[in-house]
Chains A and B, each alone.
Chain A
């Protein structure tokens, strides 16, 4: 900001251009005149403010949306982006059991407070975490007629009755147990068996269950083929699992056999009813327990093992 434009101008005028003699800098009238010319705004000069505001509102509508919303690398944007990135990364690492024990527990605690259950795979019998989105859902895997373990998925906290044991029509979605428990099929409603889930997005994905039919709709309301299963032997619960917290949006039944973990693209959803051993066809991440879970295929990046 300029200190005193008049004084600056008078100082510059002291330059003798060899043609006109220097002005009398002590002459008060000249300084007064210049100060009056550059004086504070007057009322009649600010009369058009309302019209200017109206013009601004109209102009904003015509600005490109990206620019209108642009906050050029503001500190708040940087901070928010950093926090979001760290949250996703930490959650992914926690789900993959990569974090050290203390860090993993801290992450579990934090995510549990927001309704996301990520329990370590080594505790398959751990009690279900509080479900922010609704009642905890537990369902027992039913023995498939062929002998393979069939599990259903429960989504969004709703519990479907599912079919009789051995049927595939269960509409509850339970993450399969680790391979070590493969031969053991708990009959009692088990508490949440663990599953590794990664919530890629905090947004809840509403899913509609049609009990008994084994079908349910994905977030877009499109009915998907039932039943849905989640590898890993755990139980999905909570509401915010659309992007990989074990929420299924269709897909075929899963046969858990081996161990693999995969992360998938949370934005894509695929269903592959014809593929045995494929997991839930939803665009989320889910992982089996370490050391023995199956993977799921979703999006386009997952792998299927059977």
Chain B
């Protein structure tokens, strides 16, 4: 019965879903003229979602309820600005033929205050083919995988006794240290200073711009660089280079220089107390906490330059304390809010630092890499380089390349890799719930942020904007104060909104997602029929979320970069918003790039992540269960979960509305 269930029933269900998705597209209607009156206000549109059929002629009349606004429809790239100058029209009209199907974000293109960058709505041109076909594709991939694996398992079980699955765990590698100039550069004692120097200068410029530049985010280099950098980090730096950012990160630089008492040299004695980090905190729970703390205030950081400025100052000064108390880069490894997710996703990166031959290290008595010698410091990340089998906590500081007297460290470009599947340090340590919860935090927020910042949901935006926002309505209720010249747009703290947003961020990441996830784990455990601890399954399978949550962030990042990247062109000429024109680009208009291609890039990324998550599920199942049949059965609920998440991400980005 169980066999038949898997063989026929599941593919059948999946096929039915596919067909029903497709049939939605069959309904065709005659093109008509569709007219909408959209009222813009700080910061949203009414209505915020408009639906038309393909071929319809769309007429949008834009009005404003308060200040000057505009509308720009990404993908159709039509828009208008409604500047409420006295004597000018108080209504603007755009007309176009909705010939492209899909969901299109429209946004305000006239700066209208703090939440202006997130003043968005959705135009949905039905039938939404990109969404329908990409969802169907995801369902098909899941179906094909299950059928294919089921077939293979039957074949395997018929060939009893043959050790088919002893696949050699090798993958393609190329040691970058074979290239002499690279090796020489990395071996330079001043290597770290050289890569940190430009980034620390930029960092200080950003702090200066945040405090002294214009508070209008899109015209302030500080604000733009911080957020475009975050997007770039997620889109390219981490997926391609893992922790290369950590290599040149300016935040711990001051602390490390003080701790070492030198900028470029190797000192014998280090300053500070040099304490060891408490064993109880030898996990990334603190990083989960700091990341969630920042996330709680994302609505403030993402809309106010001074908040960005203070954040940068804190991130530059706070690490110094930890460098003075503890040994090495305790800040980076255990506390830094950025480091947590960079480490998590670096495990997918095609760059790794590993010992060339572990046997050599085992025999080598000196262990210079953890003791340090005259050429370099002991691993500041408290790793034992020969035991590295995951990228997670190797900061690529290159000290071990300098200290190893046997030249036994390699910096590999790689294809593949097993970081997600294995226990740290070749099994000498165990994976814990801390990393599992990091994946929940990242997976959840990738969706929550997309809904808040790009979705058409005004209520979410006003909750996130718990400082100020509609505050002047509640704080300055007496007109006489206005006449007396009291500033009307003072910031005020809205405790109800804060409480709801706090609950949303912490509740969704720490309760809802883990809760849903544990249902699938329970199903998986039941399906496998094996006696295995729930906790072990819970932890092991959490790594399968990493690829698909990374692509959810990448889909977000590519959106931010293509839509808002052009602000940077104007801002390099006028970094402080003081009216300069350094390179003649100060008047470059906001121009979203490649809006026609954007949804397809996102679809490609999301589907790719889904495939990688399926692969990870397969690998982890096989390593968790001794029996192949159990492994296969256990993986099916997980595949269902990944399919569900992928469909959700597709729904958010390509479907337009939840």
Whether chains A and B associate is: no
